[in-house]
Structure 1
Amino acid sequence: MLVAVLAGGEGRRIGGSKPQRLLAGETLLERALATVRYWDKKPVVVTRYDLPDTGCETIRDRSGIEGPLAGLAAAFDHARETEAACLLLLACDMPFLPGDVPERLAWMVDGGANCAMARSGGRDIPVCSMWSVAALGRALPQYLEGEDRSLFGLANMLNYVTVQWDAGEGDPFFNINTPEDLAEAGERLG
């Protein structure tokens, strides 16, 4: 399994450079990497611009593609090069990820699903998903020939399945997009 952390968003709604925004004394990217290193000692960071050294391999979004799909495409290329069977895709702006994400998503992909996506609070979370590298190899080139550039569109093409998490005390897939979201996350951690 390859774990890829998406850190390429421009962060316009939060004032730019989202991966470098501070939450409880750490950048969002540092927090994300601290979490995923429990799952994979060698995660990769996928970005479209220069970031400070993270101690992880950094790969560039695939050129000519916008949004998270560019990160998935680049991570897919890396997964094939390293002969990973599956790819866990995560965004750096979700500071409350449950510890059982890899096991629960992998269980579905190992069981034959082409893509397994987290679901919480009535919504599917495409930036918290596990993809079969073999299935991506068959579908991604064809998908990129079309007009759609969403992770949902590609996941739909692969007949994705969802894995439900309880939102309970707060959405475990809460993501930070605005200064208000950052303040709310700080309160949750406080």
Structure 2
Amino acid sequence: MTLPAAVILAGGCGTRLGGLDKALCTLNGRSFLAHCQSRLAPQCGLIALNANGDTRRFHDTKLPIISDSVQDSLGPLSGILTAMEWAASNGYTQVLTIAVDTPFFPMNLAQRLLQKPHDQIALAATRDTNGHLWLHPTFAIWPTSLHEKLRMDLEHGARKVTAWAKAQGAVNIIFETQANDPFFNINTPEDLVRAEQIVKSQTRADQPR
């Protein structure tokens, strides 16, 4: 299997986390960005960080920093467009995107999402205990050949990731939730407390008995 390029989307502001940059918020002594980077490394080829504003705040990371290629930040779709264009410029035909505030995403994310036709978008999804389908559209594989189509649609008002992806024929790849939702994202101080508890429970589970 050819490994895709990957881009960590970090355009959101942690308003409910005291206005801190989510990528630099810490969980168990490490930044969200560091957690995501370590989980991505075995799954991908090149990895970049999509972030806007003064990129000097990421001086400690060795990742390429790519800012939105559209003039105004237009939400996650503009980050996805930037990811497509960056990956294509580096010779990749597919790019994986993830959100920086979701540090427990599956270690087989890329492998599972790549189980689809090469020219098709694949979105991560889960089902709750009631069988309801939940899409996680920032966790997806995107053919880089779609970048011109996405740029044109952004110029004509496209903003919703799921709606745009489905219009291109995207498929859903279902992931098991097991004890914890692997796509649990951290938005509030309460979420951060829960995330710390998840880390502790995982650490205990990994210890030899």
Normalising by structure 1, we get a TM-score of: 0.92
Distance in 1 between the 2:45 and 2:94 partners?
A: 16
What residue ranges of structure 1 are gaps of 5+ in the alignment?
A: none
Select between 156-165 and 45-54 the one with higher mean Cα deviation: 45-54
For residue 47 of structure 1, report the CA deviation from its aligned partner.
0.4
Secondary structure of the structure 2 residue equivalent to 1:107: coil
Tell me the alpha carbon deviations over residues 46-95 of structure 1, each in whole angstroms, 9 at most, x when there is no partner. 10122322111111122323221121111111112112110101111111
Structure 1 residues 89-168: aligned runs within 5 Å:
89-110=97-118, 112=119, 114-121=120-127, 122-134=133-145, 136-168=146-178
Alignment correspondent of 2:183: 173
What residue ranges of structure 2 are gaps of 5+ in the alignment?
A: 128-132, 201-209
Distance in 2 between the 1:19 and 1:95 partners?
A: 10
Contact 2:44 2:110 in 1 (8 A): no
Give the greater-gyration-radius structure (CA): 2
For residue 146 of structure 1, report the CA deviation from its aligned partner.
2.2
Secondary structure of the structure 1 residue equivalent to 2:185: coil
For residue 162 of structure 1, report the CA deviation from its aligned partner.
0.4
Contact 1:120 1:164 in 2 (8 A): yes
Structure 1 stretches of 4+ with a deviation exceeding 4 A read none
Distance in 2 between the 1:12 and 1:105 partners?
A: 31
Alignment correspondent of 1:9: 12
Distance in 2 between the 1:73 and 1:137 partners?
A: 6
Distance in 2 between the 1:91 and 1:109 partners?
A: 23
C-alpha RMSD of matched pairs (Å):
1.5
Contact 1:109 1:132 in 2 (8 A): no
Normalising by structure 2, we get a TM-score of: 0.84
Distance in 2 between the 1:120 and 1:168 partners?
A: 10
